[in-house]
Amino acid sequence: MKRFLALWFVLCAAVLLLLASPVFAQGNSANGILEKMKQNTLKIQDYQADIRIKTNVEFLKIPESTSILYYKQPDKIKLKSDHFSLVPKKFQFFSPLVLLKNEYTSYIEREEKLGNNNCYVIKIIPAGEKGDIILTTAWVDKSVLVFRKLDVITKIGGSMVLNMEYDPSLIKKYPLPSSIVFSFDVGNMSISRNMDGNSDEDDMHKKNKQKLTKGSVEMQFTNYKVNIGLDDKLFDDKKKK
């Protein structure tokens, strides 16, 4: 009996140690990792940045453009430009607060090296029928907990891939990208001249949308100004139709 009890205590201790290991710790579960990313993003109340946009879409010849991007928590976004700019409305999925704003289920599928970065590969499955995303595969940098890559499948059958790069000096304080390459299957995907999500598509886009197959938008971000107290009125200034 004593031997049985001793063996039982040893087994219990081994199980407790296993559960306390990094593999099973809540902080290293998929939900734990994504929650940490959301908390890190909450450090950013607002920001302003210069953005250079290069568009690569069949049948559309659009010159590179420079604009000013404004963002304010939780979801206010505005692009100020004197030139035509073509950007996918879903581009802001690089932010955990946008991608994870509704309920979801997640799990770590594997660990993988992406370039020089060791990443968790996390599957994110939205709960319920809200939104148009079916599945997101996210490559999360293990050392700084930012998205390095997102592969998103939508209900309408389109897919989009975002690849993010970061300035080493900025990422130590804020998880903001220095560049995003947004690749997509056009199909029925909405494309807009700005990123406020409220503008109608340009007539040229409507005429060509069904002809398009694949495309990409390259965005370079510089001169970040973070937590500068942007006024809400900045985002309410929309052109009247």
Q: How far is CA 147 from the centre of its chain?
A: 7
pLDDT tens digit sequence for 172-196? 899 999 999 988 775 545 544 444 4
For residue 35, how many other CB atoms are within 10 A of its CB?
Answer: 16
Sign of CA dihedral 30, 172, 167, 196: positive
Find the helix or strand (DSSP H, E) in which 33 lies: helix 30-41
- Token code pair at residue 199: 């503008």
- As beta bridge partners, residue 238 has none
Q: Which two tokens stand for residue 84?
A: 């035509």
Residue 28 has a pLDDT of 66
Q: What are the tens digits of pLDDT across the range 79-127? A: 887 665 555 555 565 677 777 888 889 999 999 999 999 999 999 998 8
Question: Which pLDDT tens digit goes with each residue over 16-73?
Answer: 333 333 333 344 699 999 999 999 999 999 999 999 988 887 766 777 888 899 999 8
pLDDT in tens, 210-241: 455 678 889 999 999 999 999 999 988 654 43
Other CB atoms within 10 Å distance of the CB of residue 209: 16
Quote the pLDDT of residue 122.
Answer: 97
Can you give the pLDDT at residue 44?
A: 92
pLDDT value of position 85: 58
Contact 199, 211 (CB under 8 A): no
* Partners of 77 in the β-ladder: 71
* pLDDT given at position 26: 40
How far lies 61's CA from each of 64, 79, 155, 191, 231, in Å? 10, 20, 29, 15, 35
pLDDT top residue among 233 and 199? 233
Residue 90, strand partner residues: none
**Residue in the block written with tokens 């998205």:** 147
**Residue 99: both structure tokens together:** 């991608």
Task: Report the candidate in 163, 184, 166 with the shortest Cα–Cα distance to residue 174.
Answer: 166
